[in-house]
């Protein structure tokens, strides 16, 4: 056991931190108010390699391991949840699925522009009637000459309006449920792809979430990702990746909320003293600080499992579930420390409070994470639980 | 013991619910988006007597007491937290501070117009440096002939931008400070030297305008002193004590709205081939919400009964606000979770409910202050005086 960061890891962390503090912090509030994805910021981040951090260098990425990648997510999450999740969806769900199971030709074609940020990735899985129950897809891929024809509606597609490429999941054998799902790489602008309604959300207002329609959309066989009916495996592995990434974003958000609360409590005077001297305030701070360190431990552990090629899925679910709750509790308690100022848009804490609420829902709800965690416990007893 | 509501209260609830369902709930989403509650809506509520529910008929009220007022606030907040906040600040602390300690003449002059909705009232206590520490106020009132000159600022004043009558706590004797040296004044917005800041941008309650108030040597005639010179802090604290009961009632309505929506959604939404209501996780969330709501309902109406019966209620009032705001936040949080991604969408009411609910843990005395109030009452019973 050694928790020391290597010189290289420290260097990466400082690079991420520096960039986030200098470039992201100043646009986060505007992004929230304007509800526009900060495309200029994305270009700057991409120039630093942040859109291809874990993509190997031969495909145009930086090729960093999971541990530093979680530190990137954490630093982005500290300053702008919308930006952090844009990068996370693009990288952990979209690009890394192609890296994971794509053909050499697919990797050569898609990964370099994705790593450079020219092509933003999205992941079109959720449907109006397939949320937690992701295997009940109504989007159908019908085999036709030279490829497939896609028909269906995808909802809550993050990055939908800014994406250059979608990884799309469709039923190729509806009766087989999760054994009948196939993944496709679909370029934005392909005939039959329409980007529709932009969701108006409580937080994450810079995240471009859309309904995407596929209407008689032809996808050549060369753009099928992995084999026919092999989609569920891609979904499972992508879910593990996004969960660990979201856990790290939660950590960043919790740390940022804590810092805002501590700063406010150190400055705000009531009853002739800084409110930092009140036990009630100290208790909130201590509780959140403990949560933050526990969460960091879970993330480091899951990242170590991933980096040493061990199964990290359940560890990622644990970190994601715990992290989302830690982030919400941190924003909630630190908002309380702010008193009336906490309810004002003039102070950043209310933005964190709105943003972090999504973390308990997106990337798999709390309820799904609990199922996954408990499933592991019961597997040891030979019981296979069902959702 | 009799938990039945009298026919009068039942009729009152029925009337208010139908007004809320017909006039308020349909525009609640629009109010959140535009940030505007039409003055016509308030006038209509006034014409129906809703803006004077707890006050005696002789001053233009409905005479339904605290229980009636709680019924009204519960129903109102089920429909729209923005409207309920305007109405609550108007009646529960604004007009209430005048009703509790104002002279007969002052009440006769202002209350009929306030109860009928011709005029809107605000309660001005908070200042930039006096939040939880309300005794830290600095707004100054100086005697000049037959008038007081008010000079200073108030902030975070609910109804600030729309109020016609503002009941303000000001320091009349700096040597004594707020406790013993502060006085309440009824100020008309049209008087010279009074102005308001821009409405604050807030996370929720978008339709309830909140602003800074500027008093630049506003001349206030002596007749507009509410209560006794020097005892204004007591008037304001008494007002806040009683206001916490109806605030608890409002949170009850908010929590009930969360539960109602969740039950409907648990029936509508299917995943894994069945309505999500068939999942224990969802069932337990619904059960916890309902249990918390019933405990809050019992506390709120018992406390309202204490008020109407002239019994001590300060400790219980603090509990109404503390428990109510926390239950409302927890219930709307569960409702968001039950709705999944749609719970995060501004096209669905849970999202608004989540943003609106949060302030109840802060305004009219943060929940930390409520705990101090409750603990102080407990310790006072055994002869120990606590200081915050």
pLDDT at A350 over 90: yes
Contact yes or no for A361 and B337 at CB 8 A: yes
Distance CA A113, CA A99 (A): 13
Q: Do A243 and A360 reside in the same domain of the chain?
A: yes
Partner A, chain B 105-144, Cβ-Cβ below 8 Å: 126, 129, 131-133, 136
A270 in a structural domain = yes
**Is residue A1 scored above 90 in pLDDT?**
no
Segment A47-62 mean pLDDT = 97
Strand, coil or helix: what is A376?
helix
If asked whether residues A33 and A91 sit together in one domain, one would say yes
Q: Is the pLDDT of residue B388 over 80?
A: no
**Same structural domain for residues A250 and A295?**
yes
Give the end-to-end CA distance of chain A in Å, rounded to a whole number.
36
Mean pLDDT of A55-59: 98
The pair phi, psi for residue A202, each rounded to 5°, is -55, -50
Q: Which residues of A309-336 are buried (b: 16+ CB within 10 A; e: fewer)?
A: eeebbbbbbbbbbbbbbbbbbbbbbbbb
**Best residue in B29, B341, B371, B373 to probe A by mutation, most A CBs within 10 Å?**
B341
In chain B, where do the E strands start and end? 121-124, 140-144, 147-158, 165-171, 182-188, 194-196, 210-221, 225-226, 270-271, 274-275
Contact residues on chain B for A350, CB-CB shorter than 8 A: 202-203
Residue ending a domain, choose from A115, A136, A169: A115
Domain assignment present for residue A366? The answer is yes
Pairing of strands A121-124, A165-171: parallel
Q: First CA to last CA across chain B, in angstroms? A: 37
Nearest to B366 among A155, A339, A362 (CB): A339
Query: What pLDDT digit, counting tens, does each position of A148-159 carry?
Result: 999 999 999 999
pLDDT digits (tens, 9 = 90+) for B279-333: 999 999 999 999 999 999 999 999 999 999 999 999 999 999 999 999 999 999 9
Q: What percent of chain B has pLDDT over 90?
A: 97
Among candidate residues A61, A83, A115, the one where a domain is terminated:
A115
A 81-140: CB under 8 A from B: 126, 129-133, 136
Residue among B203, B336, B337 whose CB faces A343 most closely: B203
Longest dimension (CA), chain B: 79
Q: Which residues 196-235 on chain A approach chain B with CB closer than 8 angstroms?
A: 199-203
User: Can you give the pTM of this predicted structure?
Assistant: 0.95
Is A207 within a domain? yes
Q: Is B388 on the interface with A (CB under 8 A)?
A: yes
Would you kindly state where each structural domain of chain B is located, as residue ranges?
Answer: 7-119, 122-231, 234-380
What stretch of H or E contains B319? helix B314-339
3 state SS for B184-221: EEEEECCCCCEEECCCCCECCCCCCCEEEEEEEEEEEE
Determine, for residues B279 and A201 on separate chains, whether the beta-carbon distance falls below 8 Å.
Answer: no
Q: Do B362 and A199 touch (CB under 8 A)?
A: no
What's the CATH fold of domain B122-231?
A: Butyryl-CoA Dehydrogenase, subunit A; domain 2 (2.40.110)
Q: What is the mean pLDDT of residues A23-45?
A: 97
Instruction: Using an 8 Å CB-CB cutoff, list chain A residues near B354.
Output: 202, 357
Does A359 share its domain with A260?
yes
Residue with tokens 């989609």: A231
Query: pLDDT grade, residue B355 (50/70/90)?
Result: very high
Closest residue to A344, CB basis, from B126, B201, B388: B201
Kindly determine whether residue A345 and residue B201, on different chains, have CB atoms separated by under 8 Å: yes
Identify whether B364 is a catalytic site residue: yes
Does residue B341 sit at the A interface (CB-CB below 8 Å)?
Answer: yes
Residue A182 forms beta bridges with which residues? A170
CATH of the domain at A372: 1.20.140.10
Residue A87's pLDDT is 98
Q: How far apart, in whole angstroms, are the C-alpha atoms of residue A341 and residue A329? A: 18
Residues of B in contact with A344 (CB under 8 A): 200-203
Q: What is the interface pTM, i.e. ipTM, of the complex?
A: 0.93
Cα B217 from Cα B99, distance rounded (Å): 26
Task: State how far the alpha carbon of B76 is from the alpha carbons of A186, B70, B247, B289, B349, in Å.
Answer: 50, 10, 11, 20, 15
Q: A101 lies in a domain?
A: yes
B358 lies within 8 A of chain A by CB? yes
A387 part of a folded domain: no
Q: What is the pLDDT of residues A99-129, one digit of tens each?
A: 999 999 999 999 999 999 999 999 999 999 9
Domain limit, last residue, from A64, A89, A115: A115
For B319, residues 6+ apart whose C-beta sits below 8 A from its C-beta are B248, B299, B303, B370, B374
In chain A, what residues touch B347 (CB-CB under 8 Å)? 199-200
Alpha carbons within 13 angstroms on the beta-carbon side of residue A67 total: 19
Residue A163 lies in a domain: yes
Smallest Cβ distance to A340: which of B281, B343, B363? B363
Instruction: Report the alpha-carbon angle B63-B302-B90, nearest 5.
Output: 45
Q: State whether A260 and A225 are in the same domain.
A: no
Positive/negative CA dihedral, A46, A51, A53, A57:
negative
Q: Verify whether the Cβ–Cβ distance A340 to B361 is below 8 Å.
A: no
> Any CB–CB contact under 8 A between B343 and chain A?
yes
**B207 contacts B80 by C-beta, under 8 angstroms:** yes
Q: What is the pLDDT of residues A171-182, one digit of tens each?
A: 999 999 899 999
Looking at chain B, the whole-number percentage of residues with pLDDT higher than 70 is 100
Per the domain annotation, does A351 fall within a domain?
A: yes
Same domain, A252 and A374: yes
Q: How far is CA A328 from CA A262, A353, B81, in A?
A: 16, 7, 23
Minimum CA–CA partner of A354 in chain B = B355
Whether A353 sits inside 8 A of B358 (CB atoms) is yes
DSSP, collapsed to helix, strand or coil, labels residue A44 as helix
Q: How far is CA A176 from the centre of its chain?
A: 29
In which band, very low, low, confident or very high, does the pLDDT at B1 lie, cut at 50, 70 and 90? Answer: confident
User: What does the CA dihedral A179, A180, A183, A188 come to, rounded to 10 degrees?
Assistant: -150
Give A344's DSSP letter: B
Does residue A126 lie in a domain region? yes
Is the per-residue pLDDT at B83 higher than 90?
yes
Min Cα separation B276/chain A (Å): 11
Average pLDDT of chain B to the nearest whole number: 97
Cross-chain Cβ contact B344/A358 below 8 Å: yes
Determine the Cα–Cα distance for residues A353 and A360; give it in Å rounded to an integer: 12
- What angle, 0 to 180 degrees and rounded to 10, lies between the N-to-C axes of helices B280-308 and B232-268? 150
Which residues of B, range 187-216, sit inside 8 Å of A by Cβ?
Answer: 200-204
Angle between helices A231-267 and A279-307 (to 10 degrees): 150
- Which residues contact residue B199 at a Cβ distance below 8 angstroms, ignoring those fewer than 6 apart? B35, B160, B161, B209, B210, B211
| A350 reaches B (C-beta below 8 A) | yes
Could you tell me which of A328, A80, A346, A341 has the C-alpha nearest to residue A205?
Answer: A80
The verdict on a CB contact (< 8 Å) between A269 and B361 is: no
* Any B CB within 8 A of A339 CB: yes
Give Cα separations from A29 to A342, A348, A350, B346 (angstroms).
Answer: 15, 8, 11, 19
The answer to whether residues A155 and A181 belong to one domain is: yes
Predicted confidence at residue B2, as pLDDT, reads: 85
Specify the pLDDT at position B323: 98
Q: Are residues A199 and A280 in the same domain?
A: no
Q: Which CATH number fits the domain that encloses residue A71?
A: 1.10.540.10
B122, B157 contact by CB (below 8 A): yes
Which chain B positions have a beta carbon within 8 Å of A155's beta carbon?
A: 341
Q: Considering only CA atoms, which of B150, B158, B167 is closest in space to residue B212?
A: B158
Task: State the smallest CA–CA distance between residue A279 and chain B in angstroms.
Answer: 10
For residue B174, the distance in angstroms to the closest alpha carbon of chain A comes to 17
Pair B211, B197: CB distance under 8 Å: yes
Domain that holds residue A175: 121-230
CATH code that applies to domain B7-119:
1.10.540.10
CATH number at residue A204: 2.40.110.10
CATH classification (class only), B234-380: mainly alpha
Chain B CB within 8 Å of residue A360 CB: yes
Catalytic residue among B33, B38, B364, B368: B364
Number of domains in chain A: 3
Quick: pLDDT tens for B121-165.
Answer: 999 999 999 999 999 999 999 999 999 999 999 999 999 999 999
Measured distance CA(B122)–CA(B187) in Å, rounded: 10
CA–CA dist A357, B346 (Å, integer): 13
Is B58 strand, coil or helix?
helix
Does A353 lie in the same domain as A245?
A: yes
d(CA B36, CA B58): 32
CA distance B105 to chain A (A): 35
| Structure tokens, B319 | 């509990």
Q: Is the domain of A201 the same as that of A276?
A: no
């Amino acid at each position: 056991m050694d928790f020391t960061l290597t010189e290289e890891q420290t260097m990466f962390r400082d690079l991420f931190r520096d960039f986030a503090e200098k470039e992201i912090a100043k646009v986060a509030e505007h992004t929230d108010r304007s509800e526009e994805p900060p495309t200029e910021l994305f270009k700057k981040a991409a120039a630093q390699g942040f859109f291809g951090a874990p993509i190997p260098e031969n495909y145009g990425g930086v090729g960093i391991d999971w541990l530093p990648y979680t530190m990137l997510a954490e630093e982005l999450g500290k300053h702008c949840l919308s930006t952090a999740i844009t990068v996370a969806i693009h990288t952990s769900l979209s690009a890394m699925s192609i890296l994971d199971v794509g053909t050499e030709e697919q990797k050569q074609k898609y990964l370099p522009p994705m790593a450079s940020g020219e092509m933003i990735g999205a992941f079109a899985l959720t449907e109006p009637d397939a949320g937690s129950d992701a295997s009940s897809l109504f989007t159908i891929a019908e085999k036709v000459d030279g490829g497939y024809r896609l028909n269906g509606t995808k909802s809550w597609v993050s990055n939908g309006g800014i994406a250059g490429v979608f990884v799309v999941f469709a039923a190729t054998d509806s009766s087989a449920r999760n054994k009948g799902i196939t993944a496709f790489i679909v370029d934005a602008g392909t005939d039959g792809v329409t980007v529709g309604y932009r969701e108006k959300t409580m937080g994450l207002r810079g995240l471009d979430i859309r309904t995407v329609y596929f209407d008689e959309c032809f996808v050549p066989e060369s753009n099928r990702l992995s084999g026919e009916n092999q989609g569920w495996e891609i979904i499972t592995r992508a879910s593990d990746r996004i969960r660990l990434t979201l856990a790290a974003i939660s950590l960043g958000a919790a740390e940022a909320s804590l810092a805002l609360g501590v700063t406010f409590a150190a400055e705000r005077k009531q009853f002739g003293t800084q409110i930092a001297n009140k036990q009630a305030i100290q208790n909130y701070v201590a509780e959140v600080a403990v949560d933050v360190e526990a969460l960091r431990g879970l993330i480091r552990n899951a990242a170590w499992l991933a980096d040493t090629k061990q199964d990290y899925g359940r560890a990622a679910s644990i970190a994601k579930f715990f992290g989302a709750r830690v982030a919400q509790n941190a924003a909630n308690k630190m908002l309380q420390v702010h008193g009336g100022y906490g309810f004002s848009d003039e102070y950043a804490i209310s933005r964190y409070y709105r943003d972090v609420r999504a973390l308990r829902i997106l990337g798999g709800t709390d309820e799904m994470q609990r199922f996954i965690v408990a499933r592991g416990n019961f597997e040891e007893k030979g019981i296979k639980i069902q959702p | 013991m009799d938990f039945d509501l009298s026919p009068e209260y039942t009729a009152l609830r029925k009337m208010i619910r139908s007004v809320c369902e017909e006039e308020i709930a349909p525009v609640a989403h629009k109010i959140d988006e535009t940030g505007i509650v039409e003055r016509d809506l308030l006038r209509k509520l006034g014409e129906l007597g809703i803006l004077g529910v707890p006050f005696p008929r002789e001053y233009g009220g409905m005479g339904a007491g605290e229980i009636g007022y709680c019924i009204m606030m519960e129903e109102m907040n089920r429909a729209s937290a923005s409207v309920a906040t305007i109405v609550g600040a108007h009646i529960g602390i604004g007009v209430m501070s005048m009703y509790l300690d104002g002279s007969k003449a002052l009440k006769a002059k202002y209350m009929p117009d306030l109860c009928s909705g011709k005029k809107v009232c605000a309660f001005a206590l908070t200042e930039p440096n006096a939040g939880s520490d309300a005794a830290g106020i600095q707004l100054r009132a100086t005697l000049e002939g037959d008038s007081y000159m008010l000079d200073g600022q108030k902030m975070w004043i609910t109804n600030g931008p729309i109020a016609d009558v503002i009941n303000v706590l000001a320091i009349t004797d700096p040597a004594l400070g707020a406790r013993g040296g502060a006085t309440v004044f009824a100020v008309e917005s049209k008087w010279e030297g009074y102005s308001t800041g821009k409405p604050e941008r807030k996370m929720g309650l978008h339709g309830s305008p909140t602003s800074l108030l500027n008093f630049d040597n506003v001349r206030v005639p002596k007749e507009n002193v509410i209560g006794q010179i020097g005892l204004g802090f007591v008037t304001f604290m008494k007002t806040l004590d009683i206001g916490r009961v109806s605030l608890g009632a409002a949170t009850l309505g908010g929590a009930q709205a969360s539960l109602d929506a969740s039950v409907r959604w648990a029936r509508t939404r299917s995943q894994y081939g069945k309505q999500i209501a068939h999942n224990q996780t969802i069932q337990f969330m619904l059960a916890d919400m309902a249990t918390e709501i019933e405990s809050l309902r019992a506390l709120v109406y018992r406390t309202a009964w204490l008020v109407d019966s002239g019994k001590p209620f300060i400790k219980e009032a603090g509990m109404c606000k503390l428990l109510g705001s926390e239950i409302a936040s927890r219930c709307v949080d569960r409702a968001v979770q039950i709705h999944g991604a749609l719970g995060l969408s501004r096209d669905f009411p849970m999202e608004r409910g989540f943003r609106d609910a949060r302030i109840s843990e802060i305004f009219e005395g943060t929940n930390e202050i409520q705990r101090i109030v409750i603990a102080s009452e407990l310790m006072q019973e055994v002869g120990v005086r606590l200081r915050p």
